[in-house]
Amino acid sequence: MLQPKVLLFFFYFLKFAGFLRNKITFILHLTKYHPSQARANLKAADELPGRIGFLGLGIMGSPMAQNLIKAGCDVTVWNRTKSKCDALINLGAKYKPSPEEVAASCDVTFAMLADPESAIDVACGKHGAAIDGSTSKLINEHIKATGALFLEAPVSGSKKPAEDGQLIFLTAGDKSLYDTVSPFLDIMGKSRFYLGEVGNGAAMKLVVNMIMGSMMASFSEGLLLSEKVGLDPNVLVEVVSQGAISAPMYSLKGPSMVKSLYPTAFPLKHQQKDLRLALELAESVSQSTPIAAAANELYKVAKSHGLNDEDFSAVIEVLKAKSKE
């Protein structure tokens, strides 16, 4: 059985000294499970704790918590905006008014937080997209100083994969905690990787999102160019989706982008944040990233146009505006 009072962060897996006493940590390994198989494994191994907490119920956290509830977990939730807890409460979740109370009342607590500030607030016991490696290391040092151990686990995937239990977990930290919590990751995701030392999970997430942001900017240029020269951009989406450069993102986002619709799965403000952090990471090791830097400028302009909360595919609107100048 899992030791009581463990707090697990999807951007950070950690344990608060004030109310979490047993030392546990985390690690990564590539494994693929279907969620139903993961649930069966949990029950067979008798590893399902009685009480699970979940902090942060945004675009990603809410469906992830729902999957835990559907797997039979007794879930207690918290979010800064309480109304976001209501749907989960209706599914059977309990509610506590602070992260401290959730963690104190649960055997295992998961947190899904969008930025370094929120992660630090929660890690320090205050009411608080990818996090940078320096923040991971800062929180790791803080947690270790209290006598506890730490695990980070950024996710690759957006709203739909979170709903479908198809996320990819990029973990770093202690191997024993990774082994302990992996059945829960298998409920919420399709793959999990162990990347070694704390900071590596955050770094991998930033590299992945740097590539994704650059791909979306280039894809946007292609859609607009095809239309300008008299081609059907819908056909371009089909051609790209069937060729060597096919990626699920193109077939998923392309049809909506052609219609100028941008239903939010990954907010544009988070994409720009991740590009900024990736560029800082590259600068720290003297790696040239001119394509990502150019893409970052487009997303910055998109934010100035009020597109912060739109899906990151809305970056195409900046290019449309430029073509009219």
Is 1 within the bounds of a domain? Answer: no
Q: What is the tens place of the pLDDT at every residue in 70-122?
A: 998 889 999 989 999 999 999 999 999 998 888 778 777 788 876 666 766 76
Q: What is the tens place of the pLDDT at every residue in 153-162?
A: 889 888 889 9
Distance of CA 15 to the CA centre of its chain: 20
Q: Return d(Cα 317, Cα 220) in angstroms, integer.
A: 9
Whether residue 169 is found in the same domain as residue 69: yes
pLDDT at position 148? 58
Q: Which of 145, 163, 198 corresponds to the end of one domain?
A: 198
Domain containing 301 equals 203-324
Whether residue 213 is found in the same domain as residue 191: no
Q: Which of 181, 198, 215 corresponds to the end of one domain?
A: 198
Whether residue 318 is found in the same domain as residue 220: yes
Whether residue 110 is found in the same domain as residue 224: no
Q: Which of 37-46, 60-69, 107-116, 218-227 has the lowest mean pLDDT?
A: 37-46
Question: Residue ranges of the alpha helices (H) in the chain?
Answer: 35-45, 61-70, 86-90, 99-105, 116-123, 133-145, 159-164, 175-188, 200-228, 233-242, 248-258, 268-284, 290-304, 316-324
Q: What is the tens place of the pLDDT at every residue in 192-211?
A: 999 999 899 989 999 999 99
pLDDT at position 32? 28
Is 162 within the bounds of a domain? Answer: yes
Indicate which residues carry an active-site annotation. 205
Q: What is the tens place of the pLDDT at every residue in 237-268?
A: 999 999 999 999 999 999 999 999 999 999 99
Whether residue 114 is found in the same domain as residue 238: no
Considering only CA atoms, which of 27, 29, 31 is closest in space to residue 13?
27
Whether residue 155 is found in the same domain as residue 18: yes
Q: What is the CATH number of the domain that holds 261?
A: 1.10.1040.10
Is 117 within the bounds of a domain? Answer: yes
Q: Return d(Cα 296, Cα 291) in angstroms, integer.
A: 9
Q: How many domains does the chain have?
A: 2
Whether residue 104 is found in the same domain as residue 146: yes
Percent with pLDDT over 90 in the chain: 56
Q: Please, which pLDDT band fits residue 234 given cuts at 50, 70 and 90?
A: very high
Q: Which of 171, 198, 225 corresponds to the end of one domain?
A: 198
Considering only CA atoms, which of 217, 210, 257, 263 is closest in space to residue 236?
257
